[in-house]
Amino acid sequence: MQYKKGNIWNIITTAVLYIMVIFAVLVYGVKLLGVTPFCVLSRSMEPVYKKGSLIYVKKIDAQDVKEKDSITFYFKDGKTVATHRVVRIDTEKQQFYTKGDANNTEDVEPVSFNNLIGKPIFTIPYLGYIYSYFKTPPGSYILISVVCVTVFGMFALEFAKKKK
């Protein structure tokens, strides 16, 4: 089967656009449903949440959390995010005591109810690596460049077709 240059370019740009749209929906579109994606950065919750996975977290009230639930939360610094399993709940002090499934001991600091982000509802293995990379300056430059080249190429090809 023989392809013309324009056909090959159309196939490539269409594939790239589909991949970008799917990625955008998986990362940004879910936010419209009240779900926030996070990258799993450690092996503390393996095998449930593997390192490099993208987990999707739905906001939940602290009162709805039960022992043995996995929760996503901010550490005391307010910046670092983790997902661990609840081993105990102290309702008087409004704290969760957590532990990573792969860890031998409980986390040193309890988690305040106020630091709760939500509960993971599903995960996609390996997508977190890509998500994390595109959040860095070099990754975002590459992403923007790919989008620009693809869109420019599509317009240039259409313009060339109309000139014939």
pLDDT per position as a tens digit, 15-32: 888 888 888 888 888 888
What is the C-alpha to C-alpha distance for residues 66 and 100, in angstroms, rounded to an integer?
Answer: 16
Superfamily designation of domain 35-125? Umud Fragment, subunit A (2.10.109.10)
Write down the H helix ranges in the chain. Answer: 5-27, 127-134, 137-163
Residue 9: predicted pLDDT: 74
pTM of the model: 0.80
Paired with 120 in beta bridges are 57
Contacts of residue 67, defined as CB under 8 A and 6 or more positions apart, other chains included, come to 86, 87, 88, 89
84-86-91 Cα angle (round to 5): 135
Query: Rounded mean pLDDT of 53-69?
Result: 97
In the chain, list all ranges with CATH 2.10.109.10. 35-125
pLDDT confidence band for 156 (50 / 70 / 90): confident
pLDDT confidence band for 6 (50 / 70 / 90): low
Q: Is the pLDDT of residue 1 over 60?
A: no
